[in-house]
Structure 1
Amino acid sequence: MRLRLREFRPRTGPREHRTVQPWQPLRHTSLRAPAPVGTLTGDHDGLNRLAGLLSFAAHSPHTIVHVPLREAVPPDEGQGPLVDLVLVHHAFGLRAARWPELRHRLRQGTPLTVRTDEARTARDAATWRARQGHADRRADLRHTTHAGTLFLFGDRYVFAEAAMSLAYAAGWGPRQKGVTEGHPALVSGLWGLRQPPGGGHPVEVLVCFKAYPPYAHFRRP
């Protein structure tokens, strides 16, 4: 997939923080943080581009991927405020509390075009699935919500699995019943979220497809 991005290189002290955003906003894609259940709702374009961004994040361990989603058209369904999304590798060492300062420095970005490797992403996702049941908790998606942003911390394999889940939603969402009338369709989820100790309701982010109006113009692929 070819992705058009905006690249920033803000500095805090001696360190540079390479950060990218989508060049065009994902106007019809929105995110509600898990509390304990969150929802990621988008049209084909938004879910497809998010899949590409996750694939890029999987193989970019020194880059922060910031997806502004709070200004998206809010869906009628769901409760709770909309949040942005940040994807970053465990090893990068970003603390969520430092993000507001970095976000404030995201100015005068430069155009960047990248290509993702879907075959490699599929292989890495398969590796993640094969490793399930092992005791390595680094394979989880750590998550926290801070400053209107959901942070997902992972490695190449769990980000690749999330990318495949969103690609599936983008491809099969338009084929679900009721979507031509504007109804959302639950298609997949972000798997691998780290669960809190002690049990209770699992933390989930459900991925839903929803076409945007006018629905008379919507056509299934």
Structure 2
Amino acid sequence: MKLHLTVHEARRGTESLRVVRPARPPEHAGLFDDAWWLNAYVDRDAALLMAGLWTLAAGSPRSLVHLPLRGPAPPAGSGRLDLVLLHHSLQVAPSRWKGLRSRLSPGRPRTVDLRLPEPAEEDHPSPHHAENRDRFHQGVHAETLFMTGSARTFRQGAAVFLDVARNGPEHTVAHPDRAYRHRHYCRNAPCDARFRDLHVEYREAPAPGADAARA
């Protein structure tokens, strides 16, 4: 897939940190901090973009990938989050993100070609296997979820979003008395046992005028 990006620079002491964002954030995507889950709701386009960004994070260990999310309003009791993906070797503390974000340079456009990982390509070791310790770490700061991991974990996360993009649209329950259709298909991106898994659910974009009809 072709991924259209903007590339920014932020100073970190004597070093410069590269921050990558999608040229156009997804219109129908939300990430929410709920009581028991970290919930991501995506339509097909948003899921494909997420798959591309997670693939980019797997192959760009010196870049921080930032996805601003301004989708639907959060459910009652939940907090809306942006998303940051970073390789564990970068060692950027979430507490520094707000300051770094305020010092970003103007973005430079860039387009990259990516091969998305197929779900079957990513192995999932048994819970007793040593490699099972290779799981995402999390941090929440400045209304942003930080997902820190290895190239392997980011490829696995990309495969989760690709699976949702491909299979979510097929799971439909029609409601003839409503102006929209509810579809349910979900996958989890597993995290370290000290954190919550990321629950990824397919949500179809509302039909034109559907929001007004439900108001």
* Structure 2 residue aligned with 1:54: 54
The code of the aligned residue for 1:65 comes to: V
Asked whether the 8 Å contact 2:125–2:131 carries over to 1, the reply is no
Counterpart Cα distance in 1 of 2:174 and 2:48: 17
The number of residues matched between the two structures is 206
Tell me the SS of whatever aligns to 1:17.
strand
Alignment of 1:96-175 (within 5 A): 96-118=94-116, 121-122=117-118, 126-127=122-123, 129-130=124-125, 133-136=128-131, 139-175=134-170
From the superposition, tell whether residues 138 and 101 of structure 1 become closer, same or farther in structure 2 (CA, over 3 Å).
farther
* Structure 2 residue aligned with 1:199: none
Asked whether the 8 Å contact 1:39–1:206 carries over to 2, the reply is yes
In terms of mean alpha carbon deviation, does 129-138 or 152-161 score higher?
A: 129-138
Q: Deviations over 1:21-53 (max 9, x none)?
A: 010011110001354312100110001100110
- Shift of residue 16, structure 1, vs aligned partner: 0.6
| 5+ long unaligned stretches in structure 2 | 211-215
Asked whether the 8 Å contact 1:66–1:85 carries over to 2, the reply is yes
CA RMSD of aligned residues (A): 2.4
* Structure 1 residue aligned with 2:199: 206
Tell me the SS of whatever aligns to 2:101.
helix
Tell me the SS of whatever aligns to 1:94.
coil
Asked whether the 8 Å contact 1:138–1:155 carries over to 2, the reply is no
| 5+ long unaligned stretches in structure 1 | 197-201
- Shift of residue 132, structure 1, vs aligned partner: 5.3
* Structure 1 residue aligned with 2:173: 178
Identity fraction in percent: 29
Asked whether the 8 Å contact 2:28–2:71 carries over to 1, the reply is yes
Asked whether the 8 Å contact 1:172–1:187 carries over to 2, the reply is no
